[in-house]
Chains A and B, each alone.
Chain A
Amino acid sequence: MADATPTGMVDPRIFEDLQTKIDEDAEVREQIKVILTALERQGRSTQSILSRAHSTPSAQLKPVIESAENSIRLEIESVSKLSEVASKHPYYKYNGMWSRDVQNAITSILLCGWLGGMAMTGKPAEAGKLLTIEEVGEVMNVPVNLKDRDAFHISIEEYLQSLISVIDELARLAINSVTLGDYQRPLQISQFVKDIHAGFQILNLKNDSLRRRSDSIKYSVKKIEDIVYDLSLRNLVPKPVAS
């Protein structure tokens, strides 16, 4: 019946074209997935290196930082591969596939930068420093917050999500610093996290994933404040060097 009237109801090209579109889409996803598998593994490896910071006194952090930087370099290679493939397609069409892995990479870069790594040309590394989104883009060698053209980049949301992960990590580091006998670092962390928290508070967040995760910052702030309180109560807070 259908064959008797081939052009009547459905132009056969319609479904042929649709199938082609579906197949092309699957092909792109496959390409991206291969890169992400590598990136995910490298990301885990960087994170495990960085978590050694919890058991390493800050004076001896250098090897940890160097090893993390090397691992991050591998991640950056994967990201540039990803950027090349992804930039051939609408950014937001596939963004959901890699966003989490890219956030993990940004988190590692930010944390490594805070610990005193990630020196850049013209900008020496400095412990306690927050890399801006532009600096993260420079490190990763990809554009940030693109608006005028459609290509791979790091979005503001991704940067903020990563920043929240860094805060979680710093709350843990505050506790472990005390265990290591370092009573100065919790104060530094406390100030840093409070400053970031103040920043988050001026954002008008809607009921999205950023909102839900940013709600967790206040618990980190509290956790760190408790540590500072415990230290000051026992007169363990080092007197600040006159500045």
Chain B
Amino acid sequence: MADPTNNRTSLSERPKDMPGVKRNHDGAAKEVKASTSPFMPMFEAFRDELDEHHDRRERIIKASRDITAASKKIIFSLQRVRALKTDIPPKILSETTDRMALMQKQFLTIAPDLVGINAWRYQRQISGGIQEYMEAVSFQHYLQKQSLITLEEASSSIAGGVTLTGDDYVLGIFDLVGELMRFAITTMATSGSLPGSKDEGSEEDRTILMDLRVLRTHFEALDTTSCGGTGLGKDVEKKMEVMKTCVEKVEAAVYGMIIRGRERPKGWVPDLSDDRAPVESY
């Protein structure tokens, strides 16, 4: 019993003592042996390595969070746009450009942490930010060109050569569908018509609903069963449901617009046609 008691008092006197200092049997030789573990140099090297790793990890988590926040703000700004394939109003454009520049700075600061062998090491930490970035970049791309940004285009838009994985690209595009839905419904509510534009050599507008359906078709054709529970396989299931709901919401809204539109006298247009300017500024 003497031993544990001793131990407790000596610990409270010198709380920083290493364990194993001055324990029972045979004093003298102990003292020297126990005070320095022969493995210390090895563990000191490990400590330095692990510290570097944790520092990198924390820098990346922070950058990822900042990139996510900036992307969300860009998306908010872009939701005030009211027409497809036209120049984005200068006020909105300057907002998004500023934020984009900030994000690129973030990417540049963490780029050295994400090269070579570390390119995939912090995937889980950076992936949230990159997906949100994908959502913002693809949304802006769609508003300007009414087409889906390619993986290569998106990848080269990221500063510092940070890897854009196929998984993050796809998951970002899934979220894009939600933004397109919001954009379509708001535009319909404020301007009374579905956004769209004419492709070269075609008479009819290609509407956002057509685009959403094309996206949906492609997503549904994507076979991710082989991914199992890893990364993509797990997330896709949930996102697929959300994506379908989004497309259906636009379909229902268009249905409503057409059926109620019929009841109106021909040529009657809601008195909202030049509502664009005020909407932009709210």
Contacts and interface: CB of A to CB of B under 8 A. Distances in A.
A205 B50 contact: yes
Given A11-B148, A199-B39, A200-B43, A149 B117 contact: yes
Tell me whether chain A's interface is mostly helix, strand or loop, or mixed.
Answer: helix
A35 B151 CA distance: 32
Contacts of B202: 4-5
A204 interface: yes
Given A22-B232, A160-B46, A202 B222 contact: no
B42 interface: yes
A25 B228 CA distance: 11
Contacts of A237: 25
A90 B119 contact: yes
A10 interface: yes
Contacts of A29: 226, 228, 230
Contacts of A195: 20, 37-39
B234 interface: no
Given A229-B3, A229-B24, A130 B39 contact: yes
B49 A145 contact: yes
Interface string B88-109: 0000000000000000000000
Interface stretch (B67-75, B213-221, B246-254, B258-266): B213-221
A202 B221 contact: no
B146 interface: yes
B50 A198 contact: no
Nearest to B36: A198
Interface residues of B, number: 60
Interface of B: 3-4, 18-20, 23-26, 29, 33-34, 37-40, 42-44, 46-47, 49-51, 54, 57, 116-121, 123, 146-148, 150-151, 166, 169-170, 199, 202, 206, 210-211, 213-215, 217-218, 221-224, 226-228, 230, 232
Closest 4 CB pairs of A and B: A26-B226, A199-B43, A194-B20, A195-B37
Given A10-B148, A197-B20, A199-B39, 20 more contacts: A5-B210, A9-B148, A10-B147, A10-B215, A10-B218, A11-B148, A14-B148, A14-B218, A22-B222, A23-B223, A29-B226, A90-B117, A92-B121, A194-B19, A201-B19, A202-B44, A204-B54, A228-B23, A228-B25, A240-B29
